[in-house]
Amino acid sequence: MGNEPMAIFHFPRAILHIDGDAFFASCEQSRNPQYRGKPLITGKERGIVASMSYEAKALGITRAMRLLEAKKACPELIMLPSDYETYSLLSKRFYAIVKRYTPDVEEYSIDECFADLTGLRRPFRMPYIKIAEAIKRDLDTELGFTFSVGLGPNKVVAKIGSKWKKPSGLTAIPGNRIHKYIENLSVDKLWGIGPATTAFLAKQNIFTALQFARRQPEWIRHYFPRPIFDIWEELHGKYVIPIDTKPKESYESIQKMKTFSPASNDPAFVFSQLSKNIENATMKVRRYKLAAAEAVFFLRTQQFEDYGVEVRLSRPTAAPNDFIKMAEVVYPRLFRAGSWYRSTGVVLFNLVPDQSGQLDLFGASVEIQKMQKLYRAVDQMRAKFGKHTLYLGSSHYANKFAQHVGERGDTPERKSSLLRGESRRRHLGIPMFMGEVS
């Protein structure tokens, strides 16, 4: 914000973007004070860096770096397995704090959200920038780590603001000052602008966000779809991309991928991991009462080479058996003898509402309805006793062993330190504080 007078901070619409700084690593530092101020990464179980603290980042540690390389760059590096249960609980607390101030919150991802403050100056008796400061202060204090906040007239500009000064920054960008913040901003730093769009714009000698914003609307409409035009309009201060406060109820695609260690060259074991991915993906498909007729199966080698194949079924389904049968057919094209594999995955796409219960002339739906009834019972058992209480025989090897064995087999402290009344599968919604209290 600098020393600019408060008068220029006028917002006909006031949108916040709030971003947790190094969220996963910060969650670990928050709940365990001995880690604070030290280089730390999560992702030990995957063999690569999933998240790093700012102390680790300053030493050259980057996301997706292999653990051996990270340890070589920083011998004192603290390496922890990812504890997604705790991160999710702290994420919910993050949203709850923001919702004290406004109900209009879009839970964009586990570590970021948008919030609409429009019209709240009078009830809070303070300008929008002061409300933003109060939200940030509550988040930093109550969660024990910092957040970066951007305030703007729309989502695109608010997102620019939250990235402007990290970590722990708060940047307000009113409509009449947008040009000052985008004149030297690389166009690929804009939310929603991907590599293909960036490459096309470079061919047109457009390299900054301001150069993009100065193009005529007719030119933008001619070359780009509506979402890119919406970004262009928001760079001009308009509010066109609404805050979406509804919980996610549907998906265009569902992906399930798992890394396992040590790597394996056993075709039966690797296929079992793929089968487990398929079971997990169809479980989520059924939860949203969807079905899919298309899928991509893929394997990843120890050298991070991916091999995939796309399949199409004769009808949409939510039963894992149908996809596993197809996986058995194409698996010989995926698995290469002599290669070592570290992860498998599946993407189910072109999802549609599950209407397989409708009757047909040939009685096929009778068998389908039997399968639906079976998996309703399976899902109920899993909800009560644990996700992998029941599984198909093709997933046996993957479920028989821990996902990670050896030095990467550490389990998060939250899973190994149970509270009274908890079991390995059923936890209370409490992110355990792991530090010592004096």
Mapping DSSP onto H, E and C, the string for 215-255 reads CCHHHHHHHCCHHHHHHHHHHCCCCCCCCCCCCCCCCCEEE
| Residues catalogued as catalytic | 112
Which one-letter DSSP state was computed for residue 183? S
Instruction: Give the pairing of strands 290-301 and 352-353.
Output: antiparallel
Length reported for the chain: 438
Residue 269: closest CA among 392, 390, 400, 391: 400
The tokens describing 228, both together, are 């890119």
CA distance 20 to 109: 10
Output the CA torsion 82→85→87→93 (10° steps): -170
Which helix (H) or strand (E) is 270 found in, with range? helix 267-287
Q: What is the DSSP string of 392-417?
A: -GGGHHHHHS-SB-GGG----HHHHS
186 - beta bridge partners?
A: 208
Contact between 300 and 342 under an 8 Å Cβ cutoff? The reply is yes
Backbone angles phi, psi at 125, to 5 degrees: 55, 45
Burial class (CB in 10 A: 0-12, 13-18, 19+), 22: buried
CA distance 430 to 413: 13
The region, left, alpha or beta by phi > 0 then psi within -120 to 50, assigned to residue 64 is left
